[in-house]
Amino acid sequence: MKITTLFVLIFLSFQALAAKVEVEVIGMTCGMCIESITKELTATEKAEKITVSLENKKAYLEEIKGKKISDTELRAAIKKAGYETGKIYRK
């Protein structure tokens, strides 16, 4: 019984971890691009620790625990900022 309880607790703790997401962004050219992408990702209220790299042409973020942000929501937020998305990676 104790092993089953331990397994359940470990499983649930992994479920509570926030997923790290990396999104390729197409069309960024300046610091204002970074600001507008960050603003729109923040507005989803599902992302935190948002970093946008002009050099790598990517946005990095973590999902807020308990709030999964879908690929569709990510693409919509970046499109609203005026850019297109490439691949989305989840870790």
Domain 18-90, what fold?
A: Alpha-Beta Plaits (3.30.70)
> Cα 15 to chain center, whole Å?
16
Q: Between vectors from CA 26 to CA 23 and to CA 29, what angle results, nearest 5°?
A: 115
Task: Write down the domain spans for the chain.
Answer: 18-90
Q: Which residue, chain included where needed, has tokens 């929501």?
A: 73
Rounded Cα distance, 86 and 36, in Å: 17
* Cβ-based neighbours of 77, under 8 Å, separated by 6 or more: 37, 40, 41, 43, 44
Q: In the chain, what percentage of residues exceed pLDDT 90?
A: 79
Residue 42 predicted with pLDDT over 90: yes
Q: What is the model's pLDDT at position 18?
A: 74
Q: What is the model's pLDDT at position 9?
A: 46
